[in-house]
A and B are shown apart, each in its own frame.
Chain A
Amino acid sequence: MKTNRKPVTPYQAIAIVVNTIISGRLLILPRELCTEVGNGSWLMIVVSALVALVIISLYTAVGRRFSDSSLPQYTVKTLGVFGGSMLALLFGASWLIMASLSARIFSAVIITAILPRVPLEVGILVMLLLGAHLATKNIATIARVHELLLPLVVGAIFLLVVPSLSRVSLWRLLPLIEPGSLKKLGTGILVGSSSFLGLEIVSLFMPCYGRPELAGRSHKLGILIVAAVALLTVEGCIGVLGTGTLARTQWPTLTLVRMISFHGIFERLEAPFLAMYVIVVFTTIGSMLFGVVAILAQLFKIKSQAIWPYLLVIPAYYLAVGPPNVIAVEKAGQIFAYFRLGLVVFTPLIVLLVAIIRGKEDRPDEKQAEGS
């Protein structure tokens, strides 16, 4: 039977970008931005989206240059076995930590909002196991899962956030930029840009793109969808809650949903919202753990990935339960996000620079020669 070695379609590429980036972070992003720059949060989202577009373009460029290699392979090709492997392992570690933090944040939301008697550990384990299960699958399956869940994730977020916009007060949205808030522009952009992290996952999927020439378009569209969701959520939160209330709301996106109802059908929407959010977090954790599995498999030449990815749940679980409380989780997450942002920004730059200097790239003729 002939198998398609390049199974990922342009639509699936969009879905991978969107589903990986949108995570539990969206539940706290409005507060994080508002605390830094107040009403100017919308500007941070716009600027951060532009930054994310630049970063993903770098990954697209590297991916095109190394059309048959994924991140661990092209870092080794350009930076040598030791340097390249270490860098790839850093990515793997950062994805593992991100999966842990996503599971922890989401479990904290679940047990606070709707299941107060469920142990935190159970929530974390369930999410990590689900993610690990997805990570045992091949690229084609993962891409199909993302494709299937994209309308559900984006559609449900829009469906639940848009009705709250009827409660938006124009005066709470103004001034568009508060005087003095631009002093914190740098921090605001850092917070905003870190909310787009996860985009680097395309470095693992690009070698499997059926139409790599459309990769740039798919990636950009994915970022724009994420930016639209983030912008809508942040402005919705500011317009409804106001900056004063928003700054002291733990999970503002959830609070926004708690304030609306589809009269006569659903009185309280937080339960369906969080049920839908399981999918959001599942796709993020699944992508992240898949990234760890792919890096380890490629660096250590492991062929089967049927069972051992489940073992990743063990370190991820301990990382997730480590912080003593929700404040420590957020602080750790913020510091980690800045480190990760540096890693994600500088890696493609270094790889591209070294590849150009050393003339490294995947040439079709090389591959044909290898094949023959």
Chain B
Amino acid sequence: MKNKLKALKILVFILIVVTLSFRGWSSSRDIEKRSFVLTQGVDTAPDNTFSVTYSLANPQALGNEEGGGSKGKESAIIYKTRCRNLWQGHHFIQARTEHPLFLGHVQTLVLGEELARQGIGRVVDVFMRAAETRLKTWLVVAEGEAGKILEVAPKPEKLAPLYIGRALEMEDYLNVIPLLRVAEFGIRLRNPGEHPVAPMVKAGDDELALTGLALFKDDKMVGKLNHEEMHYFFLTVAGKGHMFKRVETSAGDTFSYEISNVKRRVRLHRTGDQVSFSVLLAVEGNIVEAVTERSLRDMEFLASVEQVITEALAKDCRALLTKIQTEFQVDSFGFGAMVRGRYPKLWAQLDWDQDFPTVPIKITLDATIRRLGMVSE
């Protein structure tokens, strides 16, 4: 009797497990029966609509002939549609594809400049709300239309939609820009005292280029920095923005200085209800090009070159700060978050968006030459 009961228990347990498992498998889908969206582009369109572009991977075109690839096929297939909301666009494109669209591999979300200026809160909300999307997706703003960016097939990349993401990862690797993913954008959008930024890209005939940085106030783009200004921005805000700086001394000697390390220190000062900031940047770098008759082994001359570099970098950083404070009037630096963190009661009294343009911010920069390359002078 006891054995029969045990056998019955096992049988019932197996039956339940098998029955439930059948339902549990309903989410499974073979990898070749999915359509992988690699890049999403969103633009504004007339009549308050969106123009949505998807770049889908075409795995058949990726292999060589021996490997089973289909010669002549594009590695990515572009789908474009107009819609009233983003999910409607998704379903319109879904209706034109063989397999279910999968957003789990989206590398880059490209937004048109016009849309960015109108506000991208809706787009970011959709992206953050969906569980399937990658939070590590890059968010970039296109100079012009986002759809054009997706249509470009850069020569070096076999799978074109991966190009932007990889190029931006390379920029992060080279310490030019920090990781600017969609999650970070969404987070900055919601947190007091922070405003998001996004890299800007431009499409050529068969190439894409990182052209600068879009600055946002809340979810609306309010200004853009060119490539050089972007370097100074990240130098000031994140200790990144490593770059080359060409300087010329009063005697006509020219040098190219490559920034290799930045130590950044921001101090917040308070006098009554007034706050001010001092930003100290200790920049280290190497001389990578020198056009001079004098030797850099001469310590006095070396110090004078360092001084020239310091003045040039500081001037450009200050010019950038003035531009952001007075022209765009947006605290993309995140100084507001510092005030909120340090003086929460004062923060509650401030209208930071109004106050930021007039807040005194002092930038002090000290450039040091560390190495001269493989040449000794």
Contact = CB atoms under 8 A, between A and B. Distances in A.
Interface in A11-41: none
A242 B191 contact: yes
Secondary structure of the B side of the interface? helix
A261 to B, nearest CB: 7
A108 B132 CA distance: 15
Given A261-B136, A306-B9, A175 B194 contact: no
A42 to B, nearest CB: 14
A126 B21 CA distance: 9
A118 B24 contact: yes
A125 B5 contact: no
Interface of A: 112-119, 122, 125-126, 129, 133, 169-175, 178-179, 240-245, 248, 255, 258-259, 261, 267-268, 306-307
A261 B26 CA distance: 27
Contact of A116 (B20, B27, B183): B27
A118 B9 contact: no
B246 interface: no
Interface string B300-339: 0000000000000000000000000000000000100110
A24 B46 CA distance: 46
A170 to B, nearest CB: 8
B16 interface: yes
Contacts of A306: 5, 9
B334 A171 contact: yes
Nearest to B13: A133
Contacts of A125: 20
A175 B190 contact: no
Given A172-B337, A175-B342, A268-B134, 20 more contacts: A117-B26, A117-B27, A118-B27, A126-B24, A129-B16, A133-B13, A171-B334, A174-B340, A174-B342, A175-B341, A179-B348, A242-B190, A244-B187, A244-B191, A258-B135, A259-B135, A261-B136, A267-B134, A306-B5, A307-B5
22 contacts: A114-B27, A114-B131, A116-B27, A118-B24, A122-B20, A133-B13, A171-B193, A171-B334, A171-B337, A171-B340, A172-B191, A173-B341, A179-B348, A243-B191, A244-B190, A244-B191, A244-B192, A248-B190, A255-B135, A261-B136, A268-B134, A306-B5
Interface in B214-247: none
Interface in B85-124: 104
Contacts of B183: 258-259
B352 to A, nearest CB: 14
B341 A112 contact: no
Given A114-B27, A115-B27, A129-B16, A245 B348 contact: no
B33 interface: no
B134 A175 contact: no
A261 B27 CA distance: 23
Nearest to B188: A242
A167 to B, nearest CB: 9
A182 to B, nearest CB: 12
Interface string B178-200: 00000100110111111000000
B63 interface: no
Nearest to B125: A248
Q: Specify which of A114, A116, A125, A259 lies most central, judged by the most chain B CB atoms within 10 Å of its CB.
A: A259
Contacts of A133: 13
Given A114-B131, A178-B344, A268-B104, A242 B187 contact: yes
Contacts of B13: 133
Contacts of B297: none
A198 to B, nearest CB: 26
Closest 9 CB pairs of A and B: A174-B341, A242-B191, A244-B190, A244-B191, A115-B27, A175-B344, A117-B27, A171-B337, A245-B190
B23 interface: yes
B4 interface: no
A122 B131 contact: no
B218 to A, nearest CB: 12
B15 to A, nearest CB: 12
Given A179-B348, A244-B191, A255-B135, A171 B24 contact: no
Contacts of A119: 23
Contact of B24 (A115, A174, A267): A115
A118 B334 CA distance: 43
Given A114-B27, A171-B334, A258-B135, A245 B187 contact: yes
B18 to A, nearest CB: 12
A116 B334 CA distance: 38
Contacts of B348: 179
A154 B90 CA distance: 40
A171 to B, nearest CB: 4
Contacts of A255: 135
Nearest to A126: B20
B170 to A, nearest CB: 15
B213 to A, nearest CB: 19
Contacts of B20: 122, 125-126, 129
A288 B49 CA distance: 52
Contacts of B16: 129
Q: Specify which of A113, A242, A261, A307 lies most central, judged by the most chain B CB atoms within 10 Å of its CB.
A: A242
B23 A118 contact: yes
A169 to B, nearest CB: 8
A179 B344 contact: yes
B257 to A, nearest CB: 30
A174 B338 CA distance: 8
A258 B341 CA distance: 26
A306 B344 CA distance: 59
Contact of A175 (B5, B186, B191, B340): B340
Contacts of B190: 242, 244-245, 248
A54 B253 CA distance: 75
Contacts of B187: 240-242, 244-245
Q: Specify which of B5, B27, B338, B342 lies most central, judged by the most chain A CB atoms within 10 Å of its CB.
A: B27
B344 A307 contact: no
Nearest to B16: A129
A178 B192 CA distance: 13
A235 B338 CA distance: 18
A261 B135 CA distance: 11
Q: Specify which of B16, B134, B187, B190 lies most central, judged by the most chain A CB atoms within 10 Å of its CB.
A: B187
A307 B104 CA distance: 43
Q: Specify which of B132, B189, B194 lies most central, judged by the most chain A CB atoms within 10 Å of its CB.
A: B194
A319 B171 CA distance: 53
Nearest to B192: A244
Nearest to A307: B9
Contacts of A245: 186-187, 189-191
Contact of A113 (B131, B135, B337): B131
